[in-house]
Amino acid sequence: MSFLIDPPLLLLFGLAINFLGRRMQWSRHAKIVVGLAIALIFIIFSSLLYTDIIRCTFPFFSHLTGSEFMFHSDITHITKSMVPGSGVLFLFLLYPVCIFAGYASALLMEKRRRIYPETYSYSDVKSKKRKSNAITGANSSVSSADTITSSIIDRSLLLPSVYAVKRGKDTRKCVTDAIDSLGGMGKFVQNGDKVLVKVNICGGVPEKIGTFTSIEVADVLADLILSVGGEPIFADADMVWVKFWQAATDSGYVDWAKKKGVRLVNLSETKIVNFNFGEGSALGMEKVSMEMMDADVIISVPTMKTHLLTGVTLAMKNMYGTFPDVDKAKYHRKSIESTIIEVNSAFTPNLVIIDGSIGGEAIGPLSASPVYFETIIASNDVVMADSIAAQMMGYNPLEIVHIKMAYEAGLGDSSARFDFSSQPYRHAGGKDGNWERPDPLIKDFYEWGIELILMFPGWETLFNIGADFLLYDTSRLPVFRYLVPAILQLLHDGVYMNLKGIKSTTGDITRRVINVTLIGLVALGCAVGYYWDGYIWRSTLLFELSYLMAIVVAALASARMKTMHLIALLAISSLACYLVEHTNISAGLLEYTGSADVSLFTISGWIVMMVVILQLSDFLAGWLRGLAIFKEIRSWKVLPFAVALIIFALFFYWEGYLAIADSDVRTMYAAMAVLGILYSWKHSIEWNASLVAVSLAVGGYMELIGSMAGFWHYHFPETLAVFFALTWALNTMAVHGLAYLLGIDLGAAEERHLLPRRHDKKME
């Protein structure tokens, strides 16, 4: 690993994640977790090389120090002292970007293969010919609860524009009444029409209501279209990381479409053709979906929410999402405002339904906070609809650049002023004209900055990654979705086990007291051994805090275990510790500064480590099962441990420990390898992967901070021997394997837990 070798390797890993993700049916979360895990491994290992904590023992490069290898000083003549720390930090921050760039490149290449050579223009858009059918007559259907306005807009077609606003707790009724106020669905859809309904799916976060078009609104629209003989097609398109089918599945659209019997279409997977937006336009020749060309009627159905870059994201911005190209960043370079105007000029919605039943305010579109606005806006004029919605949110419509530009270009009318007193009731939360919204000046600054960045070649992909990953996935990242609840569950079960809602028998309480007492005795042994071996005089704050945290986690974990399993783990860990440490010390592979052989501190430390590894592995295994990373290779149970064994063997040889190891060391590790393989064969791949990953992370960290504190020294002059960090995978598997042979399965979480896992029916 080096600053020259790592970037292309990480790019290849990004491509591999794309390929394996399709073959193994990984969710987007699974892909992100795998990508971040790989980047983290590269960063940690490369950091250890850069700081010369570990030796460079790779073939052909063993003559270099770790930092020399990272800079390839023998070739570049660049040394560690020549590069400032900020520069090194920047290089490390590029590691995850390299993986994402490789993944995104594969996506972009995949999409480009679907383009057809045909070229179309404005005159070929079927829905534009139908626009003239949305004529007057709506005024006759106005009721006292309606707000409806007519004026001359859409100057190209000289049609009257009308809008209706409906407020109520019954969303279905609001949608139906609003459309009836415009003359009914029959005014827009004829028998046999293909009706493309552009909903907002990929522009929202499935777990956050108010960020995507509600299924309730989609459902009533489907009923209305079908009632007049139309064929509804609900559609959206991919972005770099936000994949349509995953987002549609997570938000419930896939299940709904199947039950409803309507088409759900990913525009990025349809026939892609070229569209000529005209000479002098911002877009010029651009790719569009043939579904947009063939639709007899286009209905834009956005959710009503704010947007950090455009102020609002309503019906016009919703049409921007019809572009099938995942590379959306280029439209910012061409001017996002102009792009919005041109796509709406070419594919002008025949009908607009703005879903304000639950909208999104503050820093939208993805981190928006829900607003229970109980409002539906309908119009045959996309500019008018957006103008009314903007006013209801608190904007002057002409503050929104694309609304102002559309009005000045004659695309629609933004002059109508909304009267809140026309509504049957004011919003209970005081949100009428008073949404939390991005300041227009700040929005303009962001847009200027983005356009400036995108002037540099190749930055579109980085922007796509940043926009979709940082904005979309930080609101859905597994580390927040799974880890935080897991920690809270640990605190709840371990510390507050006896609070209301947990029914414990007298025997359960007694067992927990016994378990915590046992861990307390182990902690006491740690303290006594710590003092006895003289480590207290050379210790570091980092080591002491880390060890204290480990003891706390072990105590909490013990409260969740059956006493028999805890005693087995403690006894077998003690035995394994003595055998492993004594054998390595006798062979001269390492030396403890506080004792000539295995001490009380060493044994009690091993026990704490094994309990911590077991507890953290529980959480990680549950996370991995939820991500379904190993869904397609569940039969490859021994794979995680086999990979760890191979890497262990390589560093055993590369770092020189194999050459000095006697027959006892080799026999011991061979036996541990056999135990680990047998144990792996009997357990799930998720559990095996968790044990390996956690043991390497926790064990490697302990090896590093203990060595830095001077508690032990390795045979070779190095701060951390990678070989010894890797032995923790064998140590852990050996302990679990021995327990399994004795009839105690530490990997059977449900059998090991003192109390059965609680399930919240509401969450299910």
Pick from 220-229, 418-427, 444-453, 530-539: least confident: 444-453
Tens digits of per-residue pLDDT, 583-631?
999 999 999 999 999 999 999 999 999 999 998 998 888 888 878 889 8
What region does 137 belong to: left with phi over 0, alpha with psi -120 to 50, or beta?
left
pLDDT, residue 622, reads: 83
Pick from 216-220, 433-437, 686-690: least confident: 433-437
What is the mean predicted confidence (pLDDT) over 377-393? Answer: 97
pLDDT, residue 205, reads: 81
Assign 751 a pLDDT band (cuts: 50, 70, 90).
confident
- Spatial separation of the C-alpha atoms in residues 137 and 350, rounded to whole Å: 16
Pick from 239-243, 300-304, 578-582, 681-685: least confident: 239-243
- Spatial separation of the C-alpha atoms in residues 459 and 442, rounded to whole Å: 22
Q: Is the pLDDT of residue 25 over 90?
A: no
Pick from 211-220, 253-262, 334-343, 724-733: least confident: 334-343
What is the mean predicted confidence (pLDDT) over 382-386? Answer: 97
What is the mean predicted confidence (pLDDT) over 36-57? Answer: 91
pLDDT, residue 497, reads: 37
Question: For the chain, give me the number of helices (H) and strands (E)?
Answer: 30, 16
- Spatial separation of the C-alpha atoms in residues 764 and 760, rounded to whole Å: 7
* Residue 445: HSE in the Cβ half-sphere, 13 Å Cα cutoff: 5
Q: Is the pLDDT of residue 246 over 90?
A: no
- Spatial separation of the C-alpha atoms in residues 764 and 757, rounded to whole Å: 14
pTM for the whole thing? 0.60
pLDDT, residue 366, reads: 72
Who's near 358: CB < 8 A, 6+ residues apart? 209, 210, 214, 303, 370, 371, 372, 373
Report the relative pairing of strands 272-276 and 351-361 from DSSP bridges: unpaired
Of 226, 346, 239, the C-alpha closest to 298 is: 346
C-alpha distances in Å from residue 638, one per residue of 38, 350, 380, 643, 668: 20, 59, 62, 9, 20
Give 256 or 531, the one with higher predicted confidence: 256
Tens digits of per-residue pLDDT, 409-453?
999 999 999 999 999 999 999 999 999 886 555 555 455 555 555
pLDDT, residue 362, reads: 79
Tens digits of per-residue pLDDT, 188-214?
999 999 999 999 998 888 878 999 999
pLDDT, residue 470, reads: 45
Mean pLDDT of the chain: 84
